Amino acid sequence: DAKTTQPNSMESNEEEPVHLPCNHSTISGTDYIHWYRQLPSQGPEYVIHGLTSNVNNRMASLAIAEDRKSSTLILHRATLRDAAVYYCILRALFNAGGTSYGKLTFGQGTILTVHP
Amino acid sequence: EAQVTQNPRYLITVTGKKLTVTCSQNMNHEYMSWYRQDPGLGLRQIYYSMNVEVTDKGDVPEGYKVSRKEKRNFPLILESPSPNQTSLYFCASSPISPIREQFFGPGTRLTVL
């Protein structure tokens, strides 16, 4: 399975941009990059996903490296409510190499602390 | 309201006493999955189901069983719980396409004494 590597923790100040990195050097050409976050005492929630091009939505932006071996989740203006654990995962587009695209590996994620 | 529900939300039990944690979704999703979350280990997938009667192992399936007899329900069964299964469990569902988002339930905190 293609795996992702994220820093254990990051800190930011409120109102400042936050760049959360994710390395996925073994990504295959058909793996989508998904980001989820988990607020304290809640289940994870979807943030954004992409394949090759940079993506924007109301929550965040996703910047994907040209070689796709890394990506960065960008929170343009961090708020206290953005303090959470952020997970970067890969989802295969279809079954390949004996691995089902239903199998997902979340990892430990990055704990984001936002200071007032 | 579109949601994933889990029951019970909290459970304290003893070693060896069979238990079932239910998971239900009202979004007609084909894909459902169970995860456990432990401090320092993040979310780990236990089992998943691509559709009715189709289930497969995740990364940590030992000690668990699942069934998918109906599209909306995906119960997690612990036939003989042990203390190392004390954890926070999450159920999730999504449409079958891997580019669609997963919706997670609120979690079930299980303690096995």
Among all chains, which residue has been given the structure tokens 């760049």?
A19
For residue range A43-83, what is the model confidence (pLDDT) as tens digits? 999 999 999 999 999 989 999 999 999 999 999 999 999 99
Is the Cβ pair A104, B41 closer than 8 Å? no
CB B93 within 8 A of CB B4: yes
- 3-state DSSP assignment of residue B8: coil
Identify the residue among A30, A93, A106, A111 best suited for mutation to test binding to B, counting B beta carbons within 10 A and taking the highest: A106
Predicted local confidence at residue A97, as pLDDT: 61
Q: Is B109 exposed, middle or buried (0-12, 13-18, 19+ CB in 10 A)?
A: middle
Sorted by sequence, the CB contacts under 8 Å of residue B1 that are 6+ apart come out as none
CA–CA gap between residue A14 and residue A86 (Å, rounded): 17
In percent, the amount of chain B with pLDDT more than 70 equals 100
For residue range A96-113, what is the model confidence (pLDDT) as tens digits? 666 677 888 888 899 999
Q: Do the bridges between strand A110-115 and strand A9-13 make them parallel or antiparallel, or are there none, so unpaired?
A: parallel
CA–CA gap between residue A17 and residue A111 (Å, rounded): 16
CA–CA gap between residue B46 and residue B58 (Å, rounded): 5
User: Is residue A1 pLDDT above 60, yes or no?
Assistant: no
Identify the residue among A104, A105, A110, A111 best suited for mutation to test binding to B, counting B beta carbons within 10 A and taking the highest: A104
Shortest Cα–Cα distance, A44 to chain B (Å):
6
Is the Cβ pair A104, B104 closer than 8 Å? no
For residue range B31-64, what is the model confidence (pLDDT) as tens digits? 999 999 998 888 999 999 999 999 999 999 999 9
Predicted local confidence at residue A2, as pLDDT: 60
CB B49 within 8 A of CB B57: no
Estimate the share of chain A in helix, then strand, then coil, as percent rounded to the nearest 5. Answer: 5, 50, 50
* R_g of chain A, CA atoms, integer Å: 14
